[in-house]
Amino acid sequence: MNEAPAPASARPPRRDWGRWFGRPGRSLTRRLIWLAAAWILLALVIAALFLTQAFQESALRRLGNVLNETVDEIVVAAARTPRDQAVPQIQDARTLRLLSGKYWAIAREGADGRLVMLERSRSLWNYDLDTPPDLPDRLDAAFGDVISFNTVGPKGEPLRAAASMKSIPRYDEPVVFLAALDRSNIDADTRQFATVTWIALLVMGFGLVSAVFIQVQVGLRPLYDLRNEIADVRKGKAARIGRSYPVEIQPLAEQVNRLLDHNQEVVERQRTHVGNLAHALKTPISVMMAEAGTAEGTLPELVRRQTKVMQGQVDHHLRRARAAARAAHGLGEKTDVPEVLDELAVMIEQVFRDKGVEIDWRAPDGLAFLGERQDLQEILGNLIENAAKFSRRRVRVSAGPDGLGRLVTVIEDDGPGLPEAARAEVLKRGARLDEDAPGSGLGLSIVDDLTRAYGGRMRLGDSDMGGLKVVLELPAAEL
């Protein structure tokens, strides 16, 4: 009978979102991408700030040249004008239009240290240019040079201003020549340039990070392939690493293959030693049993009984050693579970046909055991036979994956069950569930040893059918 298994304790595969957004130190891929992204981001931010600052300084220099020429025109006009006449307006349309955004003025230092306006452009009307409080001191220190500064115009507009202190015959003391120009356009151009620059660099940064991502993925692809090959070896899909890799990681692939070869050699050597030991012991045991024969008496009976115990122990340890060796070397071995269950169910029902035992087994197609067929037959055969032996009529077997790479098999019967206090005892070598039943008492012990050899485990519990429930966990393979 091959039906869908009852829902096991399967849990859905967890998506590893942290692969890209987790801590960079735990992944070589993330480390390379995050490090490159950090450097790219830092470089682009510095470049954006530098370009914006350079553009603004260039614009201000051009504006400063215009202001310097305006200051020179004012100086020339004032130097040519007699004392009893007002300084004529320079021939600049913007300085002649009221509040146009371009202004000039001539001022002197007042008693309070602030500048007092003497002459002004028509565009200023009767407004004074706002100047920094320390401007007179700075002009005294840099007499004859032009000093630039930012200020605010009559309409509240931002201005770029230039000032220079000079001595001319028209005035009895040094005076300050001022020129100012609206810098709103420059500020707007700078903001626009900064916006375009940041957008362009952001797009460039995204492109660079994408290129780094692709480069890392392509560059590390051989490592991913090697990881997948090693996983295939572990899952039993392959026995060795067969692909060729770049020179940087080819030695690693070769070392893994050498390790696999070494493990195989060690396992084979140990299996040979165990086999030789077992055969060496079997000969004297056979001689002892032959000598004891069918003779009557206390000594022959003792020899026969102890010889059988020794024979059982030798067989047990030999099977255990073979299982451990196959589990260590069982890379590439896989067994179809439904096929084995079907064979065992038919055989054991035939053995217990007088009792009318029915074995109801369920396992999904494609379920496979990562190990040798003989070992799975021995494990499941012992458990199902025990269940059939102590059941009333029904044995239920369900097998399925747990979603974590393991095969979970549950064997239940409707027999009398087993007290919890006795469950640990029956796993001991030679212990028996029923002293009147035939057998050596090694069945559950062999199952436990084989299960542990494959890295699995076995648990005993109560079945809802009334008897014993055995939960078996073994490594699963992919067909």
Final residue in a domain of this structure, among 131, 164, 181: 181
Q: Give which of 26, 8, 22, 4 is closest to 404, Cα–Cα.
A: 8
Strand segments (E) across 213-341: 335-336
Residue 468 sits in a domain of what CATH number?
3.30.565.10
123-166 pLDDT, tens digit each? 988 898 888 988 988 988 899 899 999 999 898 899 999 999 99
pLDDT at 76 over 50: yes
Q: Give domain status of residue 369, yes or no.
A: yes
Looking at residue 342, what is its pLDDT? 92
Final residue in a domain of this structure, among 151, 181, 211: 181
Determine which helix (DSSP H) or strand (DSSP E) holds 40, and give its type and residue range: helix 28-80
- DSSP letter for 4, please: P
Q: Give domain status of residue 206, yes or no.
A: no
Average pLDDT of the chain is: 81
Q: Which residue has the higher pLDDT, 70 or 432?
A: 70
Mean pLDDT for 369-376 is 85
pLDDT at 50 over 90: yes
Q: Which residues contact 346 (CB under 8 A, 6 or more apart)?
A: none
> 367-369 and 335-336: which strand pairing?
antiparallel
DSSP assignment of 445-463, as one string?
HHHHHHHHHTT-EEEEEE-
Domain range spanning residue 102? 84-181
Looking at residue 239, what is its pLDDT? 75
| Number of domains forming the structure of the chain | 2
Query: Residue 86, exposed/middle/buried by CB under 10 A (0-12, 13-18, 19+)?
Result: exposed
Q: Give domain status of residue 189, yes or no.
A: no
Q: Give domain status of residue 236, yes or no.
A: no
**Direct distance between the N- and C-terminal alpha carbons of the chain, in angstroms, rounded to an integer:** 20
DSSP assignment of 344-364, as one string?
HHHHHHHHTTTTT-EEEEE--
Q: Give domain status of residue 398, yes or no.
A: yes
> In the structure, what pLDDT confidence band is assigned to residue 436 with cuts at 50, 70 and 90?
very low
Please give the single-letter amino acid code of residue 49. Answer: L
CA–CA distance, 21 with 30 (Å, rounded to integer): 8
Q: Give domain status of residue 100, yes or no.
A: yes
CA–CA distance, 316 with 122 (Å, rounded to integer): 117
pLDDT at 196 over 70: yes
> In the structure, what pLDDT confidence band is assigned to residue 430 with cuts at 50, 70 and 90?
very low
Q: What is the pTM of this model?
A: 0.50
Looking at residue 52, what is its pLDDT? 92
226-283 pLDDT, tens digit each? 888 888 777 767 777 878 888 888 888 888 888 888 877 776 777 677 767 776 777 7
Q: Give domain status of residue 173, yes or no.
A: yes
Q: Which residue has the higher pLDDT, 240 or 54?
A: 54
Mean pLDDT for 70-94 is 86
Q: Which residue has the higher pLDDT, 427 or 252?
A: 252
Mean pLDDT for 161-188 is 91
**CB environment 359-376: b (16+ within 10 A), e (fewer):** bebbbeeebbbbbbeebb
Q: Which residue has the higher pLDDT, 243 or 320?
A: 243
Looking at residue 322, what is its pLDDT? 63
Q: Give domain status of residue 296, yes or no.
A: no
pLDDT at 45 over 90: yes
Final residue in a domain of this structure, among 146, 181, 216: 181
Mean pLDDT for 205-221 is 88
Residue 156 sits in a domain of what CATH number?
3.30.450
